Every structure is written in structure tokens, then in C-alpha cells.
Chains A and B, each alone.
Chain A
Amino acid sequence: MKILVALKRVADPDNANKVRIGAGGQKIDTGNLEWKLNPFDEYALEAALRLTEDGKAPKQRLGEVVAVTLGPKEVETSLRSALATGADRAVRVEATDEQLDGRLVALALKKIVEEERPDVILMGKQAVDGDSNQVGQILAELLDYPMATFAATIEANAKGLRVSREVDGGVSVVQLALPALVTVDLRIVAPTSVYSAQTDRAFKYNDGVRFAPLPAIMAAKRKKLDTKTLAELVPNTQLTTHYVEFAPPPERRAGKKVASVAELVNKLANEAKVI
């Protein structure tokens, strides 16, 4: 099985409250934040690795994982960490965040899919900077591929992939024939969430994503990393989504501390009048 994993680097989501609006509301300033891989994309990479191995000790690789991202030269650090974690090859499309919107990213990825011909495309359900949750769905439609968004479990079977999805009020299960696209939710890295066709169904993974051992980090430096330009992939690179202004969220002031449950009930009943 060949899997293409799309990754995005984002400003550290654990410090998102340090995002500042600069230049008279025209720009988001993330200058004081570190760059990290979008957590949901890290989960997608973990799911891709699980789908291309047998779950035995030591694990045997049974497929190929290609990591792709769009970004400036610095994002190669993120790609190298994906390679160290277990991806086989990487592709970087040269572009800055300002040159991209969801539609252009999907158009560029479409071209890469046409070149790479993966069986499965995996990515996070959303990038936690723009929070749009759109690229996977747009890409699936451009390719006329079936998709499963918000995946909580993925099981490879003779017909393709059986995916359970987290939807409002429950769980929806679909069977996808390959090639197909899946976007992952946070449960996908639970111990029994992802099984390749060869992995024993009794096997349990460690919870969360795997970490790269030191020798793998060294070896990753020798793995293949290709670069492409956005213009090579998308003939018309004009943006269709423009952010014309940014505004801070309304401030919410801390209220009072109450000393007891009795005082809390009294305040809720007589001051806030909500009970």
C-alpha cells in the first residue's frame, strides 16, 4: 500500500493565545511562536505508518509512505522529522503561507497525487491555525475520490478501508474502495484504532504517536526530499480567499471567586439568574 500524507506546519497551538494582530489589523503576528507540525497531521502520519506495517516485533514495513508539505525552506525541518519517524520519502512545494489558500493547496496536492498515484491520501481533519477543515474534502472532490472525514478508526480489508467517523451524536461507518482519502480525528492514535491487513487484530499499539529513535534521525538525513514550485503544479496561482482584516476576540474578564457551594448557588440564582 502506498500512502501520501499531507502535512502542514503551524504556529504552536499550545501558545495560540500569544498570537498577536499586527500592522493595523492587516496581519497575524506569530513571530514569537515556535513552528510545529499540525497535531492532526502528525496523527495522520502515525496512521499511515500503522497501515504500512505488520504490527510484529520488530515491525516489518509493507508499503511506502510519502510525506508532502507546502511551505518555505524551513519546513524541511518538519519533513525531516516525518522521515525520521518512518516516512520513506518527502516532497516540499515551495510557497509561503501568504501565497496559499485552501483551494490552491488542494489543487497542488491533486497534481502530486496524479504523479505519485497513492492508494490512500491521509491528512489531519483540520490545521489548527486557519481552522478551516477544507483541504481534504476539496481534494477528494477534485480527484473524484471517495472520502472519510473525522476518522476515529481505520481497518484495511480485502475491499479497501473500513473507516469509522466521529459525527455529531454518534459514529458513522463507511467502506471505501481505493484509491481514497481519509482525514483523521484525535482518536486515530488510540491503541486499537488502525490495523493494516497484515496486523493481528489482537495487537495493541502504544497510545499516541511514535517518536523517532536517534539512529533514525541520522538516517532521515539521507532519505530523498524533492522540491517543487507551486507554479509547476498549479497554472493559475491567484488566491481566491483574501483575509482583509483581523480582529482580536472580545475580552472576557475574570469574575469572582466564591467561597462555598451555597454562595455559588445564591449567585447563580439571584445575580446571574440562570437557575
Chain B
Amino acid sequence: MSEILVVAELSEGGVRKATHSAIACARRINELSGGTFSILVLGGPGTKAAAAQLTGFGAARVLSCEDASLGNYLAERYAPVVASAAQGFQVVVGTASSYGKDLLPRVAARLDAAYAADCSDVVSKAGKLAYKRPMFAGNAYGFCTLDTPQQVVSVRQSEFDPAQPTSGQSPVSDVALTPPGAAAQRIEFVSLEQVKSERPELAEARVVVSGGRALKDQFFQVIEPLANSLGAAIGASRAACDAGYAPGDFQVGQTGKVVAPELYIAIGISGAIQHIAGMKSSKTIVAINKDAEAPIFQIADYGLVADLFQAVPELVSALEARKKK
């Protein structure tokens, strides 16, 4: 029997979609080894309202910890709350976003639990839960078992379809704030600057348009009209981010974001191993590149060998013309 605690991720008072993938993973573990799951929602003002949004997913309980001191996320303040709430649970499951990746290993250390990062599936091997996770830039998957009384897992959003609501209503209860340790006294939150965008989030978008270094300082000039036309999120290769043509959080790849949209369009991206690791689960991949030998064509469903500065505007015109039909 595995009693599971899902750590919800909030953003501006709402529940982030990645949380639903974590719930899906918890349900999968329950299918394999029985037990139930509960959800912990923690944060500043608005947390109770967010907890109310999670009562329809079949959780045994929804636990809510709302406190002004949790208003700005700091792992030093969150980890003690999660670790205390985790008492009595065997598995703590969270998101593999920048939030989960920051917080969950700290929680694991507090619980003296082993941690499996970026889990893409859970299976049973010799009676134990084995977490499947990508390694070596996605060039191998490892199945790991964790031999500690409690386990902590972060869940790769692109690999678990978001959990759908079920019938029934989970009871909500408040959990008390756990006073943080010495670390929290020595860190001060200064600011969080979030880029406001009308676009879908990179990890959640149905269509992603990504640009590479070949775009140079015309990155946005070329990519934006196409992304607008498709209602797409914008991504970038590491090389484009490194060179400063695109902001760092646009990076798709092993060390950036992992995406699996229905349509991924790679523009002027050669297809380095580390980029492919972040997008190869996309349903349909299109590559536009001048170099016919670029490795990206080896994984693209549709490849167009062309000068992107001509082909992309042409593609935008063709898409706009279709809309008018």
C-alpha cells in the first residue's frame, strides 16, 4: 500500500497544470500498489481558494496551508511544511518544474528519503515501485527503485496526461505552518519578475515554434509572426539563448524545458543532442533549415531545406491565407 502526498504548484493564486500531471502519477502509483493519495496546497493568500479547485480529483484529503510567510516562494520556508505534512505518507509526488526541482530534493533531505527526478513513468519491478526517468539527455531511460521508508518523486509534465476530475468531493483540512529552520533566517526574497505574455506556456502549449542561432538578432522578428499565426508558445535552442538572441527561460532541451506539443516547428535549429532531448516526444515535428545535413532532419516528420528568412514569412502568409478561406 502506498499512501501518496501530491504537492500542488500554484501560480498567482491558481493551480498550475503541472499539478494535474503529478496527480496522474499518484493515481498510477495507487493502481500499481494500492492506497490513496492526498494533495497538499501551500502558499500565501489565496491558497484556500486554490485548494478548493482540487477537491474534485478523487483525493482522500486536500490539505491546505495558507500563511503570509509563504507568499513568496522560498524552498527554505516551504520544505519544512511539506516535510511535516508528509508524515504518514510513503511517497511525496510533485512537479518537475523549476519550483518542484528546487523544492523536492530539499524535502527529500529533510525526510532522509531518496529522490527520483523527472519521472516519466512508474512500473512495478520485483514488487517494488520503479521510476522510469530520462538520463544522458534522453538517450537512455533508467528504472530506479528507492530503498528508503519514504520516497520523493518529481513528475515530468509532458509524459503524464493531466488528471481529469472524478465524481465526489475531497474534504479539505488546514495544516499548521511548520516553523522554518536557520536557513530561512538567512535568505531574503527580493523580487520575482515574470514576463507577462498572452502566449500559452511553453510546457503546456499545443504548438511550439522554436528558433536557433541562425536567426541572430532577428529572432523575434522572424519567430513572433509565425507563433502569433499558430497561437503558439515560443522556444529556443540553447545556442540561441547562449548568444542572447532569446531569453534563458525559452530554452528547450535537456537543461531547459521539456515539451511535447502536437506540433513543434524548429527554425534554424541544427538539432544538437541536448535540444532534441527536450522536444523529441512532440507528436509532429517540422524542421526548416538551410543545411540539408542538419541532424534535426533525422527526427523531423516534415523537413524543408530552405533559407528561413524567406521560408518563414512565406509560411506565415500561407497560414494567414488559409484562415481567410
B is bound to A: yes
Residues of A within 8 A of B (CB): 11, 13-17, 19, 21, 28, 40, 101-103, 106, 125-126, 128-142, 144-150, 152, 160, 162, 166-178, 180, 185-187, 190, 239-249, 252, 254-258, 260-262, 264-265, 267-269, 272, 274-275
Does B286 lie within 8 Å of A268, measured CB to CB? yes
Does B315 lie within 8 Å of A264, measured CB to CB? yes
Can you name the residue of chain A whose Cβ is closest to the Cβ of B251? A186
Given A149-B101, A176-B187, A241-B116: A129 and B135 interface contact (C-beta under 8 Å): yes
Does A254 lie within 8 Å of B297, measured CB to CB? yes
Report chain B residues within 8 Å CB of A264. 286, 302, 304, 315
Q: A261-B314, A274-B263 are in contact. List 15 more A-B contacts (CB 8 A).
A: A13-B273, A126-B255, A142-B109, A146-B186, A148-B187, A162-B190, A174-B189, A185-B248, A242-B145, A243-B143, A244-B143, A252-B299, A261-B311, A272-B283, A272-B284
Closest-CB distance, A16 to chain B (whole angstroms):
4
Does A13 lie within 8 Å of B274, measured CB to CB? yes
The CA of A71 and the CA of B163, in the complex, are separated in Å by: 42
Does A169 lie within 8 Å of B249, measured CB to CB? yes
Closest-CB distance, B107 to chain A (whole angstroms):
8
Which residue of B110, B125, B203, B318 contacts A265 across the interface (Cβ within 8 Å)? B318
Can you name the residue of chain B whose Cβ is closest to the Cβ of A134? B105
Report chain A residues within 8 Å CB of B145. 241-242, 244
Closest-CB distance, B143 to chain A (whole angstroms):
4
Q: Give 1 or 0 for each of B152-189: 1 = CB within 8 Å of chain A CB.
A: 00000000000000000000000000000111101111
Closest-CB distance, B10 to chain A (whole angstroms):
12
Can you name the residue of chain A whose Cβ is closest to the Cβ of B180? A144
Decide if the interface of chain B is mainly helix, strand, loop or mixed: mixed
Interface residues on B, range: 35 or more
Q: Identify 27 residue pairs between A and B in the complex whose beta-carbon atoms are under 8 Å apart, listed by A's number.
A: A19-B136, A28-B136, A28-B142, A128-B274, A129-B136, A131-B135, A134-B108, A141-B109, A147-B106, A147-B187, A168-B201, A168-B257, A169-B201, A176-B187, A177-B187, A180-B186, A185-B255, A245-B125, A254-B303, A255-B285, A262-B318, A265-B322, A268-B284, A272-B263, A272-B301, A272-B302, A275-B230
Can you name the residue of chain B whose Cβ is closest to the Cβ of A11? B136
Can you name the residue of chain B whose Cβ is closest to the Cβ of A125? B255
The CA of A133 and the CA of B102, in the complex, are separated in Å by: 9
Residues of B within 8 A of A (CB): 11, 73-76, 79, 97-99, 101-106, 108-110, 114-118, 125-126, 130, 132-148, 181-184, 186-195, 197, 201, 203, 207, 230, 238, 241-242, 244, 248-249, 254-255, 257, 262-263, 272-274, 277, 280, 283-286, 292, 297-306, 311, 314-315, 318-319, 322
Does B249 lie within 8 Å of A174, measured CB to CB? no
The CA of A189 and the CA of B276, in the complex, are separated in Å by: 23
Report chain A residues within 8 Å CB of B277. 16
Does B186 lie within 8 Å of A176, measured CB to CB? yes
Which residue of A130, A144, A175, A256 contacts B302 across the interface (Cβ within 8 Å)? A256
Report chain A residues within 8 Å CB of B140. 19, 21, 28, 246-249
Does B190 lie within 8 Å of A40, measured CB to CB? no
Can you name the residue of chain A whose Cβ is closest to the Cβ of B114? A240
Which residue of A17, A146, A178 contacts B139 across the interface (Cβ within 8 Å)? A17
The CA of A265 and the CA of B182, in the complex, are separated in Å by: 58
Does B302 lie within 8 Å of A168, measured CB to CB? no
Does B135 lie within 8 Å of A258, measured CB to CB? no
Given A134-B108, A175-B188: A186 and B118 interface contact (C-beta under 8 Å): no
Does A138 lie within 8 Å of B106, measured CB to CB? yes
Report chain B residues within 8 Å CB of A248. 139-141
Report chain A residues within 8 Å CB of B238. 186
The CA of A129 and the CA of B284, in the complex, are separated in Å by: 27
Does A175 lie within 8 Å of B301, measured CB to CB? no
Report chain A residues within 8 Å CB of B181. 144
Which residue of B118, B125, B135, B248 contacts A244 across the interface (Cβ within 8 Å)? B125
Report chain A residues within 8 Å CB of B138. 249
Does A146 lie within 8 Å of B314, measured CB to CB? no
Does A241 lie within 8 Å of B114, measured CB to CB? yes
The CA of A126 and the CA of B135, in the complex, are separated in Å by: 11
Given A137-B109, A138-B115, A186-B242: A167 and B144 interface contact (C-beta under 8 Å): no
Does B187 lie within 8 Å of A146, measured CB to CB? yes
Given A166-B249, A167-B99: A130 and B319 interface contact (C-beta under 8 Å): no
Does B144 lie within 8 Å of A242, measured CB to CB? yes
Which residue of B102, B257, B300 contacts A255 across the interface (Cβ within 8 Å)? B300
Can you name the residue of chain A whose Cβ is closest to the Cβ of B263? A274
Closest-CB distance, A194 to chain B (whole angstroms):
15
Closest-CB distance, B35 to chain A (whole angstroms):
21
Report chain A residues within 8 Å CB of B248. 152, 166, 185-187
Which residue of B142, B183, B255 contacts A246 across the interface (Cβ within 8 Å)? B142
Report chain B residues within 8 Å CB of A174. 74, 187-190
The CA of A152 and the CA of B98, in the complex, are separated in Å by: 14
Closest-CB distance, B138 to chain A (whole angstroms):
6
Closest-CB distance, B144 to chain A (whole angstroms):
5
Can you name the residue of chain B whose Cβ is closest to the Cβ of A269? B322
The CA of A237 and the CA of B288, in the complex, are separated in Å by: 51
The CA of A21 and the CA of B292, in the complex, are separated in Å by: 30
Which residue of A146, A169, A242, A261 contacts B318 across the interface (Cβ within 8 Å)? A261
Closest-CB distance, A157 to chain B (whole angstroms):
11
Closest-CB distance, B13 to chain A (whole angstroms):
15
Does A167 lie within 8 Å of B249, measured CB to CB? yes
